[in-house]
């Protein structure tokens, strides 16, 4: 946070129902402690969990969590990839539950009617469903080599990538007034054409870049002008972010170096025409050298407008 203040950066805490994380209530308390320490620098999202799933208690419990978080200052609600990928969240027939399960409809309806923002991370990078040799970036290839238990190509009983995306789109079709941010380039990091298609189809939606910029750089390696045109066309709908996790594996010096190198290399990619390389794939690409007005929106104004900084 001290480094963020030096850079005049802001922190968005996205509280998430992750099995190995602290419970949502504890995450919220941690954020409230930070809010007091760094007033004005932090916004946060609340969420809901799947406790009592497949019982009548689930929806009242989830709605209570959502309303409690909003009452305590959350700027919206997060829904995570455990919906669609957690074997503990199935229907009573043993089928995986996806985002368009009608049991979620009262939540979407409530958010839509009350103009509350929903942000979503659905599925994984498409590489997760591909064989290792077909993956597009080394970071995914290395991760899924080391963690075959998460490699969907080896788990055909799980929903497909296409089913995950179709379920998300079905929700946005059904609730056209829902304000939505499709995190991680709408979970379609492999194709800015696919992202553009969603932004065109769902005018109440935006997207963010967190932890997917190397996929944009890979596409810039093939056609930099096309990528530049994408950012100029959708300059009001794209939000910069990093998604670095401090899980205790890095000391303070390493963590600071990680942030500084990321922030500066990302800025060079979007703001200059330098010839660059990325550790995630082989070959060179050029920075996009976006106009100052576009940089101002992607790095600042869109986050202010969307998250209330």
> pLDDT (tens digit, 9 = 90+) per residue, 241-295?
999 888 889 999 999 999 999 999 999 999 999 999 999 999 999 999 999 999 9
List of domains in the chain: 2-245+291-307 (3.20.20.140)
State yes or no: pLDDT of 215 exceeds 90. Answer: yes
The Cα–Cα gap between 211 and 135 comes to: 16
How far is the first Cα of the chain from the last one, in angstroms, to the nearest whole number? 16
The Cα–Cα gap between 37 and 6 comes to: 15
The Cα–Cα gap between 127 and 144 comes to: 9
Residue given tokens 């100052």 in the structure block: 292
pLDDT at 135: 97
**What kind and span of H or E run contains 282?**
strand 281-286
Whole-prediction pTM value? 0.96
DSSP state of 129: G
pLDDT tens by residue, 145-183: 999 999 999 999 999 999 999 999 999 999 999 999 999
The SS3 call for residue 182 is strand
């Amino acid at each position: 946070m001290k480094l963020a203040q030096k850079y005049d950066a802001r922190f968005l805490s996205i509280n998430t129902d992750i099995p190995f994380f602290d419970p949502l209530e504890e995450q919220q308390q941690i954020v409230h402690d930070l809010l007091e320490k760094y007033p004005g620098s932090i916004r946060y999202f609340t969420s809901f969990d799947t406790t009592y799933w497949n019982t009548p208690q689930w929806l009242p419990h989830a709605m209570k969590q959502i309303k409690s978080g909003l009452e305590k200052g959350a700027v919206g609600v997060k829904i995570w990839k455990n919906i669609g990928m957690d074997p503990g969240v199935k229907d009573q027939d043993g089928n995986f539950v996806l985002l368009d399960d009608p049991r979620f409809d009262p939540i979407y309806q409530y958010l839509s009617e009350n103009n509350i923002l929903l942000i979503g991370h659905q599925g994984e990078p498409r590489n997760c469903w591909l064989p290792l040799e077909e993956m597009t970036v080394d970071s995914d290839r290395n991760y899924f080599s080391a963690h075959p238990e998460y490699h969907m190509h080896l788990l055909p009983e799980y929903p497909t990538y296409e089913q995950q995306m179709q379920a998300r789109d079905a929700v946005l079709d059904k609730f056209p007034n829902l304000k939505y941010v499709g995190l991680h380039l709408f979970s379609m990091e492999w194709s800015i054409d696919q992202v553009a298609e969603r932004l065109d189809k769902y005018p109440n939606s935006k997207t963010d870049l967190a932890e997917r910029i190397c996929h944009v750089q890979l596409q810039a390696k093939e056609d930099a002008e096309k990528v530049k045109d994408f950012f100029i066309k959708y300059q009001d709908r794209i939000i910069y972010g990093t998604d670095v996790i401090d899980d205790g594996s890095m000391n303070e010096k390493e963590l600071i170096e990680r942030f500084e190198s990321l922030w500066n290399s990302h800025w060079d990619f979007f703001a200059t025409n330098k010839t660059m390389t990325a550790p995630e794939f082989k070959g060179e690409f050029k920075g996009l050298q976006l106009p100052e007005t576009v940089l101002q929106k992607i790095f600042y104004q869109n986050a202010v407008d969307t998250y209330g900084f």
